[in-house]
């Protein structure tokens, strides 16, 4: 005898105990002939929709199942039970992907474009969750489809056309297991480029800023650009470093990002083409234990215009990420890197998830995801962490 399949929908004002009542009623019917196959639930503004798929080999009918459920007093206080016979649809083949959408405001038109791209790729959305509504809007979708390259390309095109930030990752528990998050300092964790602040203190700000801009655009090798800029600082007294440190301002959401990562068991780390002498006290205050940055050579209380030790350049940042991952004990695919400049490209490429933060197009091309909002804690949404979890801090 073929199985009959029924969809049971319980809906109405949410109240304590509805789920327990439904599953108690279904449990009393369960046996060799009647099975619970699937469950889904959503609550929006206090309104509950709870669905259960039930299959049967017996003479169970819509009417008899409805009567059995209503006799269990699930209905009442505005709650209704609806049972309908359904024909199981053929399952979509393919692996699941997590699609994260983020913008200052996400409207129906933007979601239409994304869902149209999903359909065009022969894929379907299994679940959608609203992770945050402020200070940005963020939705997370679980999408299943047979052609992931086509799906990624369609989603990327749709997101660009309707001004959405987008991240596409493979689904699974490993996403929440990304225990190492490596963050660039200048213009990412910080609102400044430290070398530019030092340039202002030396009276050579225009020269330093011009070299910085060229390096961030990838027009000049970062290591060479760094040497040129540091040479312009020769003769500065070491006390200037304290003055520069006092000017540093964190990016909006930076403290929230670090505090939330630490509370949830992630390990934050910082890599910087800036300088240990400026960053170390700030990172100690923020309880960031893992960091790597350049060192200024100081002799008799004066900057010599040279660097000490190995330069932390584009390749050096990637090496630092690998080193931190080894120390923390996680594979590279469970790491996250966040940066904005050309010298972050290798690091973004090596990490399991590379996030370009308010970066130029060249950097975004090498990243898995891009953020165009000014809030650094928006990184948390790409890890599946909701606003509710953040505010539980």
**pLDDT digits 0-9 by tens, 292-311:** 999 999 999 999 999 998 89
Enter the DSSP assignment of 272: E
Distances (CA, A) of 256 to 13, 129, 216, 329, 389: 34, 22, 26, 25, 11
Establish whether 33 is a catalytic residue: no
Query: 180-391 in CATH: which number?
Result: 3.40.50.1000
Short-list 290, 288, 289, 293, CA closest to 277: 293
Q: Do the beta carbons of residue 182 and residue 324 sit within 8 Å?
A: yes
Q: Which of 62-76, 92-106, 110-124 has the lowest mean pLDDT?
A: 62-76
Q: Which is more confident, 215 or 257?
A: 257
Distances (CA, A) of 325 to 99, 182, 316, 339, 345: 25, 9, 14, 17, 17
Identify the helix (H) or strand (E) that includes residue 113: helix 108-120
Average pLDDT over residues 54-68: 83
Q: What is the pLDDT of residue 30?
A: 78
Q: Do the beta carbons of residue 124 and residue 144 sit within 8 Å?
A: yes
For the cut 90, the answer to whether the pLDDT of residue 358 exceeds it is yes
Q: Which is more confident, 316 or 179?
A: 316
Domain 95-171, what fold?
Alpha-Beta Plaits (3.30.70)
* Apex 295 CA angle, 196 and 280, nearest 5: 80
**If you search the block for the tokens 């000490």, which residue do you land on?**
308
For the cut 90, the answer to whether the pLDDT of residue 393 exceeds it is no
pLDDT tens track for 81-101: 899 988 765 556 668 899 999
Helix (H, G, I), strand (E, B) or coil at 172: coil
Short-list 251, 265, 249, 272, CA closest to 195: 272
Helix (H, G, I), strand (E, B) or coil at 14: coil
pLDDT band at 178 (very low <50, low <70, confident <90, very high): low
Gap between the Cα atoms of 154 and 44, Å rounded = 29
pLDDT band at 74 (very low <50, low <70, confident <90, very high): confident
Tokens of 104: 């200052």
Enter the DSSP assignment of 251: P
Q: What is the pLDDT of residue 177?
A: 65
Peptide bond into 191 cis (omega under 30): no
Catalytic pick from 14, 165, 186, 377? 186
Gap between the Cα atoms of 316 and 330, Å rounded = 19
* Apex 193 CA angle, 298 and 237, nearest 5: 25
Q: Tell me the pairing of strands 95-103 and 165-170.
A: antiparallel
For the cut 60, the answer to whether the pLDDT of residue 113 exceeds it is yes
For the cut 90, the answer to whether the pLDDT of residue 41 exceeds it is no
Helix (H, G, I), strand (E, B) or coil at 280: helix
**If you search the block for the tokens 């120390």, which residue do you land on?**
327
Q: Which of 118-127, 253-262, 286-295 has the lowest mean pLDDT?
A: 118-127
Gap between the Cα atoms of 171 and 328, Å rounded = 23
pLDDT tens track for 338-349: 999 989 999 999
Catalytic pick from 14, 184, 196, 340? 184
Task: Decide whether 4-86 matches 95-171 in CATH topology.
Answer: yes
Q: Look over the chain and give the mean of its residue pLDDT values, rounded to a whole number.
A: 90
Task: Give me the helix-helix angle, 205-216 and 222-231, nearest 10°.
Answer: 170
pLDDT tens track for 119-132: 999 999 988 999 99
Q: Do the beta carbons of residue 362 and residue 342 sit within 8 Å?
A: yes
The pTM score is 0.82
Identify the helix (H) or strand (E) that includes residue 305: strand 302-308
Can you give the residue ranges of every domain in the chain? 4-86, 95-171, 180-391
Establish whether 368 is a catalytic residue: no
For the cut 70, the answer to whether the pLDDT of residue 72 exceeds it is no
Query: 4-86 in CATH: which number?
Result: 3.30.70.260
């Amino acid at each position: 005898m073929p199985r009959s399949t029924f969809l049971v929908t319980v809906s109405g004002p949410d109240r304590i105990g509805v789920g327990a009542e439904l599953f108690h009623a279904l449990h009393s019917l369960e046996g060799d002939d009647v099975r619970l196959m699937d469950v889904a639930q959503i609550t929006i503004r206090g309104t509950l929709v709870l669905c259960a798929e039930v299959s049967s080999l017996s003479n169970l009918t819509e009417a008899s199942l409805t009567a059995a459920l209503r006799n269990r007093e699930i209905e009442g206080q505005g709650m209704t039970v609806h049972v309908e016979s359904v024909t199981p649809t053929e399952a979509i083949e393919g692996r699941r992907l997590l699609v994260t959408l983020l913008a200052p405001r996400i409207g129906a038109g933007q979601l239409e474009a994304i869902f149209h791209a999903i359909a065009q790729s022969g894929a379907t959305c299994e679940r959608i969750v609203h992770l945050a509504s402020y200070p940005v809007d963020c939705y997370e979708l679980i999408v299943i489809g047979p052609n992931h390259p086509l799906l990624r390309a369609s989603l990327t095109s749709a997101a660009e056309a309707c001004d959405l930030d987008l991240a596409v990752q493979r689904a699974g528990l490993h996403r929440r297991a990304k225990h190492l998050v490596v963050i660039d300092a200048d213009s990412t964790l910080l609102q400044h480029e430290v070398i530019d602040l030092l340039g202002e203190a030396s009276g050579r700000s225009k020269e330093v800023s011009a070299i910085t801009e060229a390096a961030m655009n990838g027009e000049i090798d970062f290591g060479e650009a760094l040497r040129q800029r540091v040479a312009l600082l020769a003769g500065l007294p070491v006390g200037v470093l304290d003055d520069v440190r006092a000017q540093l301002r964190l990016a909006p959401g930076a403290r929230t990002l670090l505090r939330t990562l630490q509370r949830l068991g992630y390990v934050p780390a910082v890599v910087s083409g800036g300088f240990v002498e400026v960053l170390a006290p700030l990172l100690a205050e923020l309880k960031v234990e893992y960091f790597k940055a350049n060192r200024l050579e100081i002799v008799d209380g004066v900057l010599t215009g040279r660097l000490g030790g190995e330069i932390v350049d584009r390749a050096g940042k990637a090496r630092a990420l690998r080193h931190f991952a080894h120390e923390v004990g996680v594979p590279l695919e469970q790491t996250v890197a966040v940066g904005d400049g050309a010298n972050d490209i290798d690091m973004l490429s090596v990490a399991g998830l590379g996030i370009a933060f308010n970066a130029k197009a060249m950097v975004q091309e090498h990243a898995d995801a891009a953020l165009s909002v000014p809030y650094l804690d928006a990184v948390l949404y790409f890890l599946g962490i909701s606003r509710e979890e953040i505010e539980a801090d």
